[in-house]
Structure 1
Amino acid sequence: MTDPATPTPSAASRTLDARQVTTLSVAVAVVLIALKAFALGASGSVSILASLTDSVLDLAASLTTFYAVRWAARPGDHTHRYGHGKGEAMAALVQAGLIFASAIFIGWEALARMFDPRPVTGGSWAIGVVVISMVLTAGLVWTQTRSLKASGSMAVQADRAHYAADLAAGAVVLIGVVSGAFLEAPGLDAAAGLVVAVWLFWGALSLLKGAADQLLDRETSDADRAALTTAVLADPRVGGVHQLRTRMSGTRLVAQMHIDLDRALTFEAAHDIVVDAEQRVLAAFPDADVLIHADPRGPWSPAVPATPSPSP
């Protein structure tokens, strides 16, 4: 069995990358809040209000991710034998809740402004802030995408999904501000805010599903299970794999299985086969926590006694 308490060098490098990108995420959120607060004061746009509210919750979500990634990277201890990886799923769950709250608030405000339209002023300032915000958000999403290739962090994935939604929502906000300030159609500004609310709600549902799957120990994908089985069966001495169970703990794959071995093998030989199988799994899934149980199969061979021979 592999030792889940000792992270490998590759795990350490992935954790470092995730920490760096979460720090950048917090910094971007702070800058966006400052810019949008200025734009809201200058324009009074409901679209800007919607975007500002979302950025405030972005900061809360990014701070949650910031701490969750560090907590999840801690090795296992006497109270958490499997490590703290599910802290990332918990962070994604918190993010989903924050996004739901944001969507409800923005949707309510947009509907109110539809029945009570208000003019959008300072359109040029608002448009400039929205464009700068979109550029910063695009840069963050690009960085998070690169980080995910190295870390596979669920918390970073949730954060990226949030900011990717923000990027698309920013385009909607831009349309709303332009229509409200230059086309004298404040109702379109409110409608743009409503579109943002619906977009956020849909993204929150996706995050909620992903977090729930991990917290409820959903099996990994069929492709991953097939890759596990293929790695173990690469040794012709392994007759079969059954009772395969998998789940994810943060970025770490946890797998348990039984394999069929010739009952004529010695204990030492069977142990070596199991260790070799674990190493092949680790080559395909670095940092996995693997537990393999050997089952005797096939006819008993009289050449290898089932019990120790009595001493003469």
Structure 2
Amino acid sequence: MSSERTHDSAERARLLRLATRASVAVALVLIALKGGVWLASGSVSLLAGLIDSLMDAGASIINLFAVGYALKPADKEHRFGHGKAEALAGLAQAAFISGSALLVLLQGVDRLLHPQPLDAAWSGIAVMLFSIIATLGLLALQRHVIKRTGSTAIGADALHYRSDLLLNLSIIAALLLAQFGVQRADALFGLAIALFIAFGAVQIGRQAVQILMDRELPDGVRAHTLQLARSIPGVLDIHDLRTRESGQHWFMQLHLELPAELSLAQAHEIGEQVRLAIITHYPQAEVLVHKDPA
């Protein structure tokens, strides 16, 4: 069991590092492409895309270091590990994304009041199509990593990359409309994108705060945990189940009600069976079992 958990932890660490590095690489490539086309066109929508990619790069770099720190094993100063670094990275991402939304909003209002013709629109459309393909590839990788690890930081990263898909489609629509003389469409799409980005920032921040405040694990996980514990022969009842999440680790505490006539060794054996039943289904969990005489 110990070797299996070690292998599982190593695989989780590998996937998390792969996802964070891929995110940084994609963001840097898109910054270079969008920056060049924005300088040629002056599009507010393209500026929105460029600023969003800059924020993506900043958030992804924070993720890269935060996930690396969160994967460090527990030590004397941090007995429960360093997992909450992921939630702190989520808060930093929320701040980055909020800043990008504000910048795009201000630029969109200015361009709405003072519309200007766009140049190099077709180059912008080509870059946006490439951005969509690159983002879809990154999201496929992130979806796999989230499914295997449940990472908050990667989940937050995936959230704003999913919003990038809508952003890129909106930019293409704005550039096409501008080609047909609807100049204010670029500014209007920029404003809509800014509001959408801000909404995503609120979601990311809320999720990170919930983890930092030690919110309980989902009800389905808690119910299943109780079911697993009650399935062990000798367990009469369970109370005071407490759970929380810290990065890649879950922490669970529960009290077992056992027959009062059991010896200490027998009670310990039942408690160990309960612990093993839970970590077999949830290998990321650290389980503390207390035994009470019924």
Range of TM-score over shorter length: over 0.9
- Structure 1 contact 42–126 (Cα < 8 Å) conserved: no
Q: Which consecutive residues of structure 2, in runs of 5 or more, have no partner in the other structure?
A: none
Pairing of 1:1-312 with structure 2 (within 5 A) = 8-180=6-178, 182-297=179-294
* Deviation, structure 1 residue 217: 0.4
Larger Rg computed on CA atoms: 1
Moved more, 12-21 or 26-35: 12-21
* Deviation, structure 1 residue 77: 0.3
Query: CA–CA distance in 2 between the matches of 1:57 and 1:7?
Result: 36
Residue identity (%): 37
Query: Aligned AA for 1:157?
Result: G
Query: Aligned AA for 2:275?
Result: E
- Structure 1 contact 92–207 (Cα < 8 Å) conserved: yes
Could you list the structure 1 runs, at least 4 aligned residues long, displaced by more than 4 angstroms after superposition.
Answer: none
Counterpart of 1:217 in 2: which secondary structure? coil
Q: Which consecutive residues of structure 1, in runs of 5 or more, have no partner in the other structure?
A: 298-312
Query: Aligned AA for 1:198?
Result: L
Q: Deviations over 1:155-199 (max 9, x none)?
A: 11110111011111110111111112x112221000011111011
* Deviation, structure 1 residue 68: 1.3
- Structure 1 contact 214–248 (Cα < 8 Å) conserved: yes
Query: CA–CA distance in 1 between the matches of 2:6 and 2:243?
Result: 20
Let me know the Cα RMSD of the aligned residues: 1.4
- Structure 1 contact 153–251 (Cα < 8 Å) conserved: yes
Report the TM-score when normalising by structure 2: 0.97
* Deviation, structure 1 residue 24: 0.7
- Structure 1 contact 7–75 (Cα < 8 Å) conserved: no
- Structure 1 contact 8–287 (Cα < 8 Å) conserved: no
Query: CA–CA distance in 1 between the matches of 2:180 and 2:105?
Result: 22
Higher helix share: 2
The aligned length equals 293
Counterpart of 2:79 in 1: which secondary structure? coil
Query: CA–CA distance in 2 between the matches of 1:250 and 1:16?
Result: 15
Query: CA–CA distance in 2 between the matches of 1:64 and 1:186?
Result: 37
Query: Aligned AA for 1:224?
Result: V
Aligned partner of 1:301 in structure 2 is none
Counterpart of 1:236 in 2: which secondary structure? coil
